[in-house]
Amino acid sequence: MDDRAHLIRAAVIWVVLAVIADLIVGFLVAPHMPPGHFSNTASDQTRINNVLALVMTPIGVGVITFLVYALVCFRQPPGPLQDGPPVRGHRRLQAGWVGVTAAIVLVLAVLGTAELIEAPNGRAGAGAGGGQGATPISSPGGNPLQVQVIAQQWQFTYRFPQYGGVETFSLALPVGRTVEFHVTSIDVIHSFWAYQLGVKADAVPGADNIAYTTPEHVGLFQIRCAELCGLWHGYMAAHGHVLPAAGWRRWIAHARVANAPATHYLPTYAKVYYPAPLERGG
Amino acid sequence: MSSPEKPTASMPATPPGRNGLLTFNVIWGLVGLVVGYAIGLWIGHRLGSRFDWVAEIDYNDIAVLLGYALGTIGYLAGLGILNHPIARLFGRSAGDVARRTGWGRYARASTDHKVIGNQYLIGIGVFFFIGGVNAMLIRTELLHPTTPTFSPGQYLTIVGLHGSMMIMMVSSIILGPFGHYFVPLMIGSRRMAFPRIEALSFWLLPLAGLILTSTIAYGGFPTGWTGYPTLGSQADIGMDGYLFSFALVGVGMILNALNMLVTVLNYRAPGMTWGRLPIFVWSMLTTSVLMLLGPPMLLAAAFMEVLDRTSGTTFFSAPTGGSPFLWENLFWFFGHPEVYILALPGFGIVLEILPVFARKPLWGYRLAVSGMLGVTLLSFMVWQHHLFVSGINSSLRPFYMLTTELISVPTGFIFLVGIATLWRARIRYTVPMLFALAFFVNFLIGGLSGVYLSDVPSDVTLHGSFFVMAHFHYTIMGGLVFAFFAGIYYWLPKMAGVELNETLGKIHFWTAFVFFNSTFLPLFAVGMLGMPRRTATYAPHLQFLNVWVSISAFLLGGSMLVFLGNFVWSLVVARVPAPANPWMARSLEWQLPTPVPVANFDGPVRILAGPYEYGDPSAPPVLEIGPAVVPSAGD
């Protein structure tokens, strides 16, 4: 068989396998793709994960197909050692490869940038669930619910500046309302990870790290610390609740009353808190 | 180009005398280390106890760091590495670049690049297995979602040691053994450019490893290998060992890089044009560029953290004007090139091995070189993708997303070159070839999973999860370590003069390949389902996958024991002598006899052809060695 026939045969195998693999990814994997659809940011991430999976699968299948094809078809025959043809390159193929891979990458980067910045219908861009620092490049309009997440070794507490600066040990959010997290830390670097919400933002001492999300379902979500923060890092986990709007208003009203004595002694609400100098030996 | 080689007389093969106990060797180095450490500790306590800071707490960072510093000087003095600079300081003769024979040379600061290559092989091999044992312990802890095997402090120590061993101590696993042994042989040189610096850069490594391991006695360090400083500032004196040993490795890397760059630039034999340079040498060259420009950032960061811990400066402390982001930027400006310091040598080895067992020239030599150069350049522009959710200015996100995705273009060149070299080839399935082929499969998965991490929205969930962990184990373990094994099966017949057992080698390969994938493929799912890195606990519904992964990891560890058994059996017991060119390879190092003569080449070398001219009957032999030069007087 000549060179051209080998190439055509391998390419046909690739196309067939790539179509099958993409069908599997599209119809069997994609409906279950993490992190799910609990919030708008989680949905955005799930959608992008699926797009990337559909783009990556044919590329990966292609490399494996041509590799395995070569390994099966071009073996050293028994007998004295034979040399292959002394081919040193192919200008058009090389240029084509450079062009195609660069084009795929540029398309992905341009689409990704658009996803990051664009905010249709007053929503934040797709990356808004990740901590954007004090000056987000993408933020939703309107009047979001502000929640300050204060990390310390080894737990998160939450402050609600729009509700008298009350600070709670547990987190509840109203369904359907955009939340603006302000994540900060008072000792070491932590990371606030609300998995089902598609939110992750590092809690850095002295920094105000903003992340957005809009919960779309009522239910529980996991909270974990995602940055190594010392001895009990593995145990820095909790559950949060997404409540119906009326239920959440009752929850926050109750929290304000129940925590009123403690709220009185809290420092005034600020973007960051500087505690006493760091104690060593934690 | 003209060769700057001196005639052989400057390197006498067996200098007389000085073989007894009272000579400079590693035992005296260890004695010097202990003595220096004790003196430093004593001075530190005398000085430090006057500071309020030290008086208030029950340990003294100043004393420990002074101990490490003076211990390092004692260690280098005991090894005899300081003899040359001290002699030159007093205007005395520096002596010859001596090349000894016999087993004793392996315990000394040798200036023979072949001895240093073998020293690296053993030294780094030890660190690799220490790191591997730590991995087994981590997987033991993760067998159950909540019931702990180790205390939280022990677990963090194990995690930190595993990461530091594998990423810092083992970072030169290819450049150390194979780069030092074969780069001079492949370019037709008799030596590296700076043999004494070469010895120094090797001997810093066991010292750094010793200091890092000794932190166990001080309670370890809790930060993992990234050493983020708010936690690092809070940590016990184990953190000082971490900082000091990372700085030592950084110095070793910079010295190594300078040596390698100067050697490849200036010590090529006549006829060794840039177009004939073996692709492995190109990978060493580009790796050296990274090792020259990355580690200074690490050194600067480590020095600042040492000052924060000992002198009360506040580079990284937010309440008093510093910023933890400073460490994150400096560390990852080193840390991202570092992962390409790990990846590029792998590219070099597999592309070096493919033509030999495909019996075809390397397809697209220039494309492969430009791929490596492109990776080198881009790797300095991507570091903030480690910080997408850290709260650093988010308007930088699109730029780092673009550069990170762009780096897959030059990496793709390597894949095209590899597959096209195999196309219409005559493939021999030897053990090194199997490992080189597995490199492509593993690195492909590692690379494709990296695209998810480069895309900010996907990274929001995946950052800091087991997905990241699986991704970089695919590139480092599946890439670098598989390439290292390809290299050791390929080159050990030249380095040690004996063949490794092929049956055991094939068992090692298949178990390693199967259990590697069975260990790390499920971890992508574990990470996507929300399990963070470096935690001893996880959600109960992830237990099945974790137990599967742990069992696979233990079997992968068993596979490494097969290799260890093969290595010891072949080298110590069986000792089947290897022919000079067992693979019928064309490249320069295989044209030399085994064992390689002490001065490498007996006469002046002239390179006549490239190393990959398989299948071309008109190609001349790769080199000719002229008649031996009579040493001229006074040289």
Q: What is the ipTM of this complex?
A: 0.94
Contacts of A87 in chain B (CB under 8 A): 360-361, 363, 424
How confident is the model at residue B631, as a pLDDT? 56
Q: Distance between CA B466 and CA B469 in Å, rounded? A: 5
Those residues whose C-beta lies under 8 Å from the C-beta of residue A260, and which sit 6 or more positions away, are A166
Chain A (226-245) residues lying within 8 Å, Cβ to Cβ, of chain B: 226-235, 237
Residue B98 has pLDDT above 70, yes or no: no
H or E segment and range at residue B201:
helix B195-214
Predicted pLDDT of residue B629? 64
For residue A222, the chain B residues in CB contact (below 8 A) are 530, 539
pLDDT of B15:
45
Percent of chain B residues topping a pLDDT of 90: 74
Contact between chains at B222 and A224 (C-beta distance less than 8 A):
no
pLDDT, tens only, B166-198:
999 998 899 999 999 999 999 999 999 999 999
Query: A221: closest CA among A266, A180, A175?
Result: A175
Whether residue A106 sits in one domain with residue A163: no
The span from the CA of B601 to the CA of B605, in Å, is 7
Residues A170 and A118 in one domain: no
Domain ranges of chain B: 19-93, 110-603+606-623
Cβ of A112 within 8 Å of Cβ of B456? The answer is: yes
Phi and psi at B29, nearest 5°, equal: -60, -45
Degrees, nearest 5: CA angle A11-A14-A20: 145
Q: Among B195, B269, B259, B197, which residue's Cα sits nearest to residue B11?
A: B195
Chain A closest-CA separation from residue B122 CA (Å): 33
- The per-residue pLDDT for range B385-422, each reduced to its tens digit, is 999 999 988 889 999 999 999 999 999 999 999 999 99
Instruction: Find the closest chain A residue to B239 by CA distance.
Output: A281
Identify whether the C-beta of residue A116 lies closer than 8 Å to the C-beta of residue A137. yes
Closest residue on chain B to A202 (Cα): B390
Structure tokens at B453: 């991490």
The region that residue A157 occupies, defined by phi over 0 for left and psi between -120 and 50 for alpha, beta otherwise, is beta
Q: How far is CA A210 from the centre of its chain?
A: 15
Q: Sorting pLDDT into bands at 50, 70 and 90, what band is B100?
A: low
Q: Are B403 and A33 in contact (CB under 8 A)?
A: no
Cα separation, B435 vs A123, in Å, equals: 49
Q: What is the pTM (predicted TM-score) of this model? A: 0.93
Give the three-class secondary structure for B46: helix
CB contact (8 A) between residue A115 and residue B457: yes
Which one of B329, B362, B456 makes the best mutation probe of the A interface by having the most chain A beta carbons within 10 Å? B456
Beta strand A237-243 pairing with A155-160: unpaired
CA distance A191 to chain B (A): 8
Residue A174 in this model has a pLDDT that exceeds 70: yes
The residue among A123, A227, A239 with the most chain B CBs within 10 A of its CB, best to mutate, is A227
Distance (Å) of CA B4 to CA A68, A157, B260, B263: 46, 68, 16, 11
Mean pLDDT of all residues belonging to chain B: 90
Contact criterion met (CB < 8 Å) for B394 and A137? yes
B362, B415, B464: residue with CB nearest A63: B415
Instruction: Tell me the residue length of chain B.
Output: 635
Residues of B in contact with A30 (CB under 8 A): none
Whether residues B391 and A131 touch (CB distance < 8 A) is answered with yes
Same-domain status, A256 and A217: yes
| CB crowding B356-368: b at 16 or more within 10 Å, else e | bbbbbbbbbbebb
What's the total number of domains in chain A? 2
pLDDT number for residue B393:
85
**Same-domain status, A113 and A59:** yes
Reported as a single tens digit per residue, the pLDDT across B15-74 is 444 545 567 888 899 999 999 999 999 998 888 777 666 666 667 888 999 999 999 999
Decide if B296 contacts B255 (C-beta within 8 A). no
pLDDT digits (tens, 9 = 90+) for B585-612: 999 999 999 889 888 888 889 999 999 9
The secondary structure element, H or E, covering residue B248 is helix B238-266
Question: What pLDDT digit, counting tens, does each position of B358-383 carry?
Answer: 999 999 999 999 999 999 999 999 99
Q: What is the 3-state secondary structure (H, E, C) of chain A?
A: CCHHHHHHHHHHHHHHHHHHHHHHHHHHHHHHCCCCCCEHHHHHHHHHHHHHHHHHHHHHHHHHHHHHHHHHHCECCCCCCCCCCCCCCCHHHHHHHHHHHHHHHHHHHHHHHHHHHCCHHHCCCHHHHECCCCCCCCCCCCCCEEEEEEEECCEEEEEEHHHCCEEECCEEEECCCCEEEEEEECCCCEEEEECCCCEEEEECECCCEEEEECECCCEEEEEEECCCCCCCHHHCEEEEEEECHHHHHHHHHHHHHHCHHHHHHCCCCCCCCCCCCCCCCC
Give the strand pairing for A237-243 and A171-174. Answer: parallel
Q: Check which CATH number belongs to the domain holding A249 and give it.
A: 2.60.40.420
Statement to judge: residues A205 and A168 lie in one domain: yes
Contacts of A86 in chain B (CB under 8 A): 360-361, 613-616
Q: By CA distance, what is A235's nearest residue in B?
A: B537
Structure confidence at residue B110 as a pLDDT band (50, 70, 90): confident
Among B231, B394, B613, beta carbon nearest to A133: B394
For range A4-13, the mean pLDDT = 94
CB contact under 8 A, A228 and B408: no
B388, B437, B448 ranked by CB distance to A130: nearest: B388
Most A CBs within 10 Å, among B54, B363, B397, B413, to test the A interface: B397
Give B103 to chain A, closest Cα distance, Å.
Answer: 38
In chain A, whose CA is at the least distance from the CA of B233?
Answer: A280
Candidates B389, B407, B524, partner chain A, best to mutate (most A CBs within 10 A): B389
The pLDDT mean for chain A works out to 91
A99–B contact, CB cutoff 8 A? no
A127 vs B529, residue with greater confidence: B529
**Nearest residue of A to residue B227, measured between CA atoms:** A228
Per residue in B593-614, is it b (16+ CB within 10 Å) or e — as a string? ebebebbbbbebbebebbbbbb
How confident is the model at residue B473, as a pLDDT?
Answer: 96
Beta strands per DSSP E along B180-335? none
Helical (H) or strand (E) element with B606: strand B605-607
pLDDT digits (tens, 9 = 90+) for A29-62: 999 999 999 999 999 999 999 999 999 999 999 9
pLDDT, position B11:
46
Is A8 in the same domain as A112?
Answer: yes
User: Does A189 share its domain with A230?
Assistant: yes
Question: Is B319 at the interface with chain A, CB within 8 A?
Answer: yes
Are A182 and A112 contained in the same domain? no
φ and ψ of A141, to 5 deg:
-80, -165
Residue B596's φ and ψ, nearest 5 degrees, are: -65, 135
Distance (Å) from the alpha carbon of A20 to chain B's nearest alpha carbon: 19
Give yes or no: residues A193 and A115 share one domain.
no
Give the pLDDT of residue A120.
65
Place of tokens 């990051």: A116
The pLDDT value given to residue A71: 95
Helix (H) or strand (E) holding B555: helix B543-568
Tokens of B235: 């940590």
Which residues does chain A have within 8 Å of residue B224's beta carbon, measured at their own beta carbons?
228
Question: Does the beta-carbon distance from B359 to A129 stay under 8 Å?
Answer: no
**B152 and A232: CB-CB below 8 Å?**
yes
Q: Which domain holds residue A232?
A: 143-265
pLDDT digits 0-9 by tens, B140-167: 999 999 888 999 999 999 999 999 999 9
Rg of chain A over CA atoms, in angstroms? Answer: 26
* Total beta-carbon pairs less than 8 A apart between chain A and chain B: 316
Give tens-digit pLDDT for B437-487: 999 999 999 999 999 999 999 999 999 999 999 999 999 999 999 999 999
pLDDT digits (tens, 9 = 90+) for A111-164: 888 888 876 666 778 888 999 999 888 888 888 999 999 999 999 999 999 999
Question: Which of B360, B390, B427 is closest, CB to CB, to A85?
Answer: B360
User: Model confidence at B233, in pLDDT bands (50, 70, 90)?
Assistant: confident
**Is B614 in Cβ contact with A84 (below 8 Å)?**
yes
Closest Cβ opposite residue B461 in set A45, A93, A280: A45
pLDDT at position B13 is 44
pLDDT at B512 over 50: yes
Q: Is B94's pLDDT higher than 80?
A: no
Q: Which residue of B has its CA nearest to A232?
A: B152
Q: Tell me the residues of chain A between 170 and 199 that have a Cβ less than 8 Å away from chain B.
A: 183, 185, 187-189, 191, 193, 195, 198-199
The answer to whether residue A137 is domain-embedded is no
Amino acid letter at B316?
F
Percentage of chain A lying above the pLDDT 90 cut: 74
Whether residue A206 and residue B319 make contact (CB cut-off 8 A), yes or no, is yes
In a shared domain, residues A216 and A248: yes
CATH 1.20.210.10 fits B110-603+606-623, yes or no: yes
Nearest to A105 among B397, B408, B427 (CB): B408
- Shortest Cα distance, chain B CAs vs residue A280, angstroms: 5
Residues of B whose CB is below 8 A from A193: 464, 530, 532
CB B363 to CB A205 under 8 A? no
Answer yes or no: is A154 within a domain.
yes
Determine the Cα–Cα distance for residues B509 and B424; give it in Å rounded to an integer: 25
Suggest the residue from A65, A87, A213 to mutate for an interface test with chain B (most B CBs closer than 10 A).
Answer: A87
